[in-house]
Chain A
Amino acid sequence: MASLFFLFLLLLLPLVVVLLLLAVIVRPRPVRIPLKGRHVLVSGGSSGIGFALARRAAAEGARVSILARDPDRLRDACDAIRRDTGVDAAALAADVRDPAAVARALETVGPVDVLVCNQGVFVPQELERQSLEEVRFMVEVNLMGTFHLIKAALPAMKQRGKETGLPASIAIMSSQAGQVGVYGYTAYSATKFGLRGLAEALQHEVIMDNIHVTLIFPPDTDTPGLAEELKRRPEITNVIAASSGGMKADDVAQKALNGIKSAQFVVPCNFEGTMLSIATAGLSPQRSYLMAFNEVLGASLMRFIGLCFQWNWFSAIEKWHAKKKRK
């Protein structure tokens, strides 16, 4: 009996040591980002996940600004937010592809505390069939648009941080397609992967200004954007995308906001997302030593599962092509 207990202890010991080590080394250190009474700006905030985020932030007592292209949709969104929360959101009509327009818009609403770069367009198609204009459209809106937003907001955010002494946040809406590239998503995955490179480097640059970067990775979410995307999706993409469940915009918004408030670098939105985040943790920063522990312990199994997924996907592609040939 004693030997069994001894065995058990010796099994546990290295795990405890790893846990303690992680508690010491995880960087950046955890931080809480308050929302109440602070200025939250959401791009792509007139519909879908952005709108849900804006409404939630308003409900939590934040001062909210939403940025989008269409003034009518902006007005409808502001009306809805006022109706649901009593809060008057500021509406900014601008196209994120235009850096001057973005800068002007941000100037009118004053310094931002929580910048949510949520705008995104997605048109899935095989690269061979897709027009370069569409590829460029996604790169301009999803990637360059985010650069424009951050460039415009950063100076005032830094200034604000010094004055208030409170932590600020730059949150970037990515996608599970920003964790793994699959059939039909060459352009979209390129833009979303790009946002991660931007975020990892940006966190190094802004940490000393008490600004905290957050990446959110939702799965397919029930939004007008998704409805548009589904019209164009290649069959194989549908087969592969079925590997992960869909979510409602409001649930994604809740996960996103919680992640922003706890200054998490990587914010998954559902179970598959959590598994994906462990598999693709790479060299990303991790503030929570418990999550770090999960990542270290789960990494091997997740890589194995990832290889199983690729086995599944390549087989599906093979089968689909064989079926097509026979027709």
Chain B
Amino acid sequence: MSGLIHRLSHSHSLVLLVYIHIAPSQEYRWIGVHRAQKQAPSLRAVPILFSQHSMASPLLLLPVLMAPVVFAAVLAFLVRPRPVRVPIKGRHVFITGGSSGIGLALARLAAAEGAHVSILARRAAQLQEARDAIRLATGVDVAIFSADVRDADAVAKAVEAAGPVDVLVCNHGVFTPQELEKQDLEEVRFMVEVNLMGTFNLIKAALPTMKQRTKVTGLPASIAIMSSQAGQVGVYGYTAYSASKFALRGLAEALQHEVIADDIHVSMIFPPDTETPGFAEEHRRRPDLTNIIAGSSGGMKADDVAKKALDGIKSSRFIVPCNFEGTMLSIATAGLSPQSSFLTALAEVLGAGFMRFMGLCFQWNWFSSIENWHSKKKGL
């Protein structure tokens, strides 16, 4: 008898599948649903729980098959917050950084889905161009507001003028990659002010009327925050940017606890490099090593990111990845974040160990690249 033992690990219970070649002259006793025939040599997969000599009823197979189902059911019971659908049609969507890039794509998509859209940005001219572009594409007129998110008062005024918000999309962001040693503290401060404080200013301004609105309408609201894959892992050149994006996650995890009772649902979107004017700016400044390392993740079009983002917002997902690598990253960095989908929770629990291993492989690759680059530079 030759045997190949294949090990499957399933939420820490081990199931051994034994492939056994049956020799026609030998008699075997089988556990399980298949009863082997003496004269039929074949390779069969038979679940064997203890030893091939013990005779047990097929009922022993049941717990093995039921385990994943039971586990999924346990997760379905456990996952918090409970999943909700956040409707977009006819509701007020307020998007910052909405005059270009991902924000513009989001505004266009939301308008096309029948939402009443407001976009906020700094430059009036760009806002008007954005409004024209959206009108051309969807026939819908969006409201435009000019303000710098770093100015809490200006933000409060704009939000007040726009009226109560149902879906707040904190999408604005600036990014200048550079080694911290070389980077000006002014630039670091710029990123922290815009990306982090700007988001605080927005949420502070919109929250009171959002809470009232959900009471009045009885419909769930959403606060969506545009993060980045740089908000899931910090890499060479991104000390300031990753700091600001990681910070948004701490904010979001705590915020969800505070606003869940008001039927407001927090979503974080984690796009990879996306083809936007912002990215073109960033790319010019990127250190060599950042390019080498960031090359690991594929780029996306703004419209595709916007689609993923909106889908995630509508299903009130806390973490919204935008591509395959993003999904892997999200499983690896799930941490203690809330999870409203029991299927995703299942993927996270099952994939966590493997993803940590993959993460370690990535760091091995990145540190090796850094080493190689420096040796090459020294050798010149």
Pairing of A with B: yes
Any A CB within 8 A of the CB of B87: no
Decide if B164 is an interface residue (CB 8 Å cutoff). Answer: no
Which A residues from 169 to 215 make CB contacts under 8 A with B?
177-202, 204-205, 207-208
Are the CB atoms of B254 and A283 closer together than 8 Å?
no
Give the A interface residue count (CB, 8 A). Answer: 93
Pairs of residues from A and B, 8 with the lowest C-beta to C-beta distance, nearest first: A181-B253, A200-B234, A197-B246, A193-B250, A189-B250, A197-B242, A194-B247, A201-B234
Can you name 18 extra interface pairs (CB under 8 A) apart from A180-B336, A280-B335, A303-B334?
A147-B180, A147-B240, A148-B185, A151-B185, A158-B181, A182-B254, A185-B250, A189-B253, A198-B240, A200-B234, A204-B237, A205-B181, A296-B357, A300-B349, A300-B353, A315-B80, A318-B261, A321-B261
Query: Taking A202-B180, A299-B355 as contacts, is the C-beta distance between A194 and B250 under 8 angstroms?
Result: yes
Judge whether A230 is part of the interface by a CB distance below 8 angstroms: no
Residues 146 to 162 of chain B near chain A (Cβ within 8 Å): 152
Q: Which of A26, A205, A281, A310 contacts B80 (CB 8 A)?
A: A310
- Closest residue of B by beta carbon distance from A4: B51
From the candidates A201, A285, A297, A311, name the one contacting B242 in the complex (CB within 8 A).
A201
Given contacts A26-B360, A128-B208, A311-B80, contact A194 B332 (CB under 8 A): no
Instruction: Name the A residues within 8 Å of B366 (CB-CB).
Output: 27, 204
Q: Is the interface of A mostly helix, strand, loop or mixed?
A: helix
A208 touches B370 (CB 8 A): yes
The reply to whether A193 and B332 contact each other, CB–CB distance below 8 Å, is no
B202-236 vs A, Cβ < 8 Å mask (1 yes, 0 no): 01100110010000000000000000001111111
Which of B124-132, B193-201, B278-286, B306-314 is the interface stretch?
Answer: B193-201
- Within the complex, the shortest CB–CB distance from B78 to chain A, in Å, comes to 5
Residues of B within 8 A of A189 (CB): 250-251, 253-254
Q: Is A190 within 8 A of B250, CB to CB?
A: yes
How far is A224 from B79 in the complex, measured between Cα atoms in Å?
Answer: 37
Report the minimal beta-carbon distance from A82 to chain B, rounded to whole angstroms. Answer: 35
A-B contact count (CB 8 A): 286
Complex CA–CA separation, A215 to B337 (angstroms):
20
Residues on B facing A (Cβ under 8 Å)? 5, 7, 11-12, 14, 16, 51-52, 75, 78-81, 152, 179-181, 185, 188-189, 192, 196-197, 200-201, 203-204, 207-208, 211, 230-255, 257-258, 260-261, 289, 293, 329, 332-339, 345, 348-357, 359-364, 366-368, 370-371, 374
CB pair B353–A181 under 8 Å, yes or no, is: no
A311 to B80, CA, bound (A): 5
Q: Which of A35-43, A59-67, A136-144, A255-263 lies at the interface with chain B? A: A136-144
Knowing A11-B7, A186-B251, A197-B234, say if A300 contacts B16 (CB, 8 Å): no
Chain B proximity of A273: nearest CB distance (Å): 13
Distance, CA A193 to CA B258, complexed state (A): 18
A25 near B360 with CB under 8 A, answer yes
- What separation, in Å, do the CA atoms of A172 and B332 have in the docked complex? 23
A185 and B352 alpha carbons, distance in the complex (Å): 26
- A202-B330 Cα distance, complex, nearest whole Å: 22
Contact present for A27 and B368 (CB under 8 Å): yes
